[in-house]
Amino acid sequence: MDDADLEKLSIKPGSLTPKFHVNTTEYSATLPCDVEKLTVNCLTSDSNASYQILGSGGERTLPLKEGEVTIIKIEVSAEDGTTKLYQIHAKRLAARDASLTDIKVSSGSLMPEFSCDVLQYVCVVPSSTSAIKVTPAIPDKKTGVKVCGSEPGSEVGLNIGETGIDIEVTSADATNKQVYTVSVIRNWFSQAVTFIDPKQAKKFECPITLAPLYRPVSVSGSDPKHIFSEPIIDELTKTSKQDPLDATPLDVEWKVPERALDKEISSAIVQCLYSYLGCESKIKFADLGSHAKECASKPKTDVEIPGDTATCGDCSRKVLQGETDWHQANMCTSKHTSREIKHSIKDHSWEKKLYQSGGSGSEIEAKKQIELYRKSLPKQGQAGRIEGGKSPLDYLHTAALNLALTVKQSPKQASLHFQLGLVLEEQYYAQDMYGYKPEEEDVGQGLASLSLDAKESSKEDDIQAICVQRGAGSNAPLARQLQAIDEEYKYLLDSGQSGKADYVQTLYIWKSKQALQDGRAAQAASDQETPLGQAYLKYLDALSLDQNNALYNVHVGRLLLLQGKPEEALTRLQLAVGIKPALTVARFYLGLALAQQKGGPGSRSKEAITYLHDGLVYLLESASVRAEAGLDSSVDITLHSEDLWRTTNIQLFRGCVTLATLLRKSPQDKKMSAQNVFHSAALLAAQNLCTLVSRGDTYQSMEWILLDCHSHLLEMLQQKEPGNTSWIAQRCQQLTAMIRCSTLPQSIEILQLQEKTCQKGVMAQPTSSQTLCQLGNSQLAMYDNDSSSDVGKKALIDARLSYRASIAQEGKPSVGGELPEQLKDQAWWQDKIKEEEAKKAATEKAKAPAAAAAATKTAAGKAPAARGRGAPARGAAAATRGTAAATKGAAAPARGAARGAARGGTAAKGPARGGAATRGGAAAKPGPQAKTPSKASPSSNANKVTTPAKVNGTAPAKSPQPQQEKPTDTGKQTAAVPSNAPLNRITYPARLGLARALVREAKDTSESQVLYNDVIVMAPQIHDAYIELADLLVKDEPLKAVDVYDRFPFPEESSFDDAYLHGEVVRLLMKREQFDDARLEKHMISWGRVMGIGCLEKYVEILDSKFKTKLLMSVYAGVNRKTVDDPDMQAFFKFKMWL
């Protein structure tokens, strides 16, 4: 009676999209240009129902207009009058139409979905996909189509990064062409690669990841080209629109794809990933992923016991062949039966608050909430609170409530304690990695992390108050805050206030941990008021109930490592490996615990390397599996602490760096090289930076890993190829750039690392203007860190010399030539020369006994005169060799110092827009060696170094005394200039840095003003130059400061950076009551457009009181982008009584 459905619907010629379904009422069809008519065939479901094609006059065949869409409406009427409408959108192509109806790809899927009007698509494929087949579908047989210039049907080879596939479509009448483009992106390769040609390794290296460039892009206008992997440069320029390598501002269209370079990288020949296991294959980089999947040497990580096994005669457990002695010595559960843990289960205050918050107490409900949490996790760029709904933290909180009640009901069930620990730990990661914050109302409900916020807030407030009292300011860098707290502590002790001094000492300890690697995470793991600290307690509860559970021992052990208690962690982890000898994650953490013991692994070094290396192999294979998954693949998301092999687990990276350090000292057969381990760790850390949603503790820990790897690889390069100065200087520049771009809190350690790195760069290329400028930046930062100490004052003197040397070298070759005089006057350079002399003298002294013995032996021969003349010649040769050896070894102490600083330091932030670093930091107590250079004046040392007679070697040596001073000539020697050596460009950073350095502790600012003006002329877009120059003038000549600000080339639409300049102009003019100055109106309008009309409120009141209504009307109209005569504006002006 009421059935108004069609049973069948079809057209002729052609077919419907989608296929007919009784409940689908909208269809489309694309027909060739020569189809003039279309026949519609229908059949109703009910024989008593009827249909009609509206507007057809009862005909089933309808005419089609060329190049247009004809809408065919089919109305079905049921017996009772019920109607239903079906529609067909039939498009007859024009003869000149060059469209496709679909594009199919053999791997991955198109984004967005295909539409004939959309010409640009992206297709993400697994990293091992080396070729793809793209099949276009055409609506007309007469339409021509070519894929990359060839007929469709063949596969297209893919680059290692991105490959553009052009599909050229020619219309049926050959009068029109249209190109569809599919950009095929392979997932980022996740392991270090070794190129056969070492020159290619340098050419193709990304400055940040230290891995082959992935989807390379260059910075427009950079010379030589600054090329980066696209994901990492996008991450570094999110908030700071600067070139990471030289801090120059980026243009609007700054990114230039380097497709030809991507193709060149893909064609380069590389070694197999498993060459350390014996594979000798050499393949194209583009084919490396597919080869690695099938390589016969690939280690087996998917089985519990890889390789041969043996059975322990005491505990009957299977252990890997060759590890029986290790097992029986420390881990056999039959011999080592002590596993008691000093811990008792009790109800904590935070746990009681969870009990009181309600909940069903259902484990099933908790699992449902965890599943909802997994589905609600944001992707990159979606950090923060979810408005109008539940955030992931809400789901975790509900799950914790339910699990807490189940624990209360079954307190002896270890698995419930463990599951609650996992959820609590996930709360920490949700806040740290995704940027979520607890809701305000959760405070009353007793959210697990609420007490931490109160405690940390109180401590932070006290620290800020101390900093203000001590003159450091409320927003001082971390290092300066520590210095202020230390000063307060000493003052309280001296004044007899020991009670307050003890509290201030706790503040210092608490704050200082933030300067260490993983400092905040270590704090959280040790604090029972944080989710991470609470999770640790629940793991302990689970372990106390089931001490033979290997997994519980692992979780307790890893958090003990995070807390900095490797001795206690070693006990837990040895027990875990004793219970399950082949549990890879337990073995990895055990290796890390062994390496972190006070005296290092000692005799168990090989054991630690084995455990760590097995874990590294498993980690890299896991990362490869993830790289195989496309963006459209659904990957099961587990809680972070359930999957300890996630690449966001910072302890895995600590283990990798530790492993590489051990392998540097003692390389092992069938193990990766230390260099490859460092490269793999750096690459994975950089990939994490590109995918982490929030810049929290995990993000900063990844930056630490990158700094560590950069520093170690720089040292290894210096040791392996000391003569490769261009690559050493390049690595120094890269490490300096990474320090400047990082979000790490400033500390003395990182400032020292930065300075040591810049010094190494200058040692490699002492005539490079850029390296000298970077050295000046680091020295100025050291001064700002502790301007009152001798070390700081010396750093300022050296900074000025470095900047002047940089400017002096402009226009000269950057490689070779004479050393700048300003460099030789610096204390650290003089110390370097003295160190080289001392080492050379020690080497010659060691050679002397051998030479004397040779001379004695010769004197016993038959020709004493001839032998007497010959012996010194041999002695001289030996001395020469000794000299060379001393010269090569001279840099070793500097490398050692840099390595220590790299592991213990924090990154120093540079200024907002180029130039030298200006932020302050904590003071380091000057060591005894810091005062040594001050005993001799720089000029006297410089004179000794530059004596011409010594340089040319023409002065006669009548006595051995002058010869002892001859090594100082190394600072004067002129290096040969290569024929292709590039010239140092004339740039602004050194002038900006010198201007800043001269302003420090100087009453006369005339030279600084000249330098700032030079910077403004050379780089008009540098905001800092205008701001700092105006600051010099504002006190005595405020209107000249306005002139400086007004010189800035403001664009039509000002940015937030521009808004500061606008605001300063308005402030100064208003303060001087320059109401009739034409610049006031212009800058008020621009400032209001950027910051909103509210920023002008107090100035509007002043102008209104001065009856400057005409100016006010112009400003209000301009901010609203309207004319004064606009009706809306006129009504507003009348309301304000300005008319």
Q: What is the pLDDT of residue 1002?
A: 81
Domains 6-92 and 102-186 share a fold: yes
What is the residue extent of each domain of the chain? 6-92, 102-186, 198-294, 450-524, 547-627+643-722, 1006-1135
Provide the residue count of the chain: 1139
Q: What is the pLDDT of residue 476?
A: 67
Cα-based torsion angle of the residue sequence 654, 658, 664, 665 in order, rounded to the nearest 10 degrees: 170
Q: What is the pLDDT of residue 904?
A: 37
CATH class of 6-92: mainly beta
What digits encode the pLDDT tens for the residues 212-248?
Answer: 999 999 999 898 899 999 999 999 998 888 999 988 8
What digits encode the pLDDT tens for the residues 981-1019?
Answer: 889 999 999 999 999 999 998 888 999 999 999 999 999
Q: What is the pTM of this model?
A: 0.80
Q: What is the pLDDT of residue 874?
A: 37
CATH class of 547-627+643-722: mainly alpha
Q: What is the pLDDT of residue 855?
A: 59
Q: At residue 318, what are phi and psi to the nearest 5 degrees?
A: -80, 130
Helix, strand and coil content of the chain, in percent to the nearest 5, comes to 50, 10, 35
CATH no. of 102-186? 2.60.40
Positive or negative, the CA dihedral 606, 612, 616, 617 is positive
Low-confidence stretches of the chain (pLDDT < 70) are 1, 302-308, 337-339, 358-359, 379-389, 439-458, 473-479, 510, 512-520, 630-637, 850-973
Q: What is the pLDDT of residue 391?
A: 83
Task: Please name which of 655, 652, 692, 638 lies closest in space to residue 426, comparing C-alpha atoms.
Answer: 638
Residue pair 682/209 in contact (Cβ under 8 Å)? The answer is yes
CATH no. of 198-294? 3.30.40.10
Task: Please name which of 1012, 1011, 1083, 987 lies closest in space to residue 1042, comparing C-alpha atoms.
Answer: 1083
Residue type, 932: T
Q: How far apart are the first and last CA of the chain?
A: 73
Residue type, 945: V
Positive or negative, the CA dihedral 1079, 1080, 1086, 1090 is positive
Q: Quick one: 300 exposed, middle or buried, by C-beta within 10 A (0-12, 13-18, 19+)?
A: exposed
Which residues, including other chains, have CB under 8 Å from residue 657's CB and lie 6 or more apart? 678, 681, 705, 708, 709, 712
Q: What is the pLDDT of residue 519?
A: 58
Distances (CA, A) of 755 to 712, 774, 776, 828: 16, 9, 9, 11
Residue pair 458/496 in contact (Cβ under 8 Å)? The answer is no
What digits encode the pLDDT tens for the residues 39-68?
Answer: 999 999 998 899 999 988 889 999 999 889
Could you give the CA distance from residue 376 to residue 393 in angstroms, rounded to a whole number? 10
Alpha helices in 890-976 (DSSP H): 892-904, 938-945, 948-952, 960-965
Could you give the CA distance from residue 199 to residue 1031 in angstroms, rounded to a whole number? 48
Q: What is the pLDDT of residue 141?
A: 85
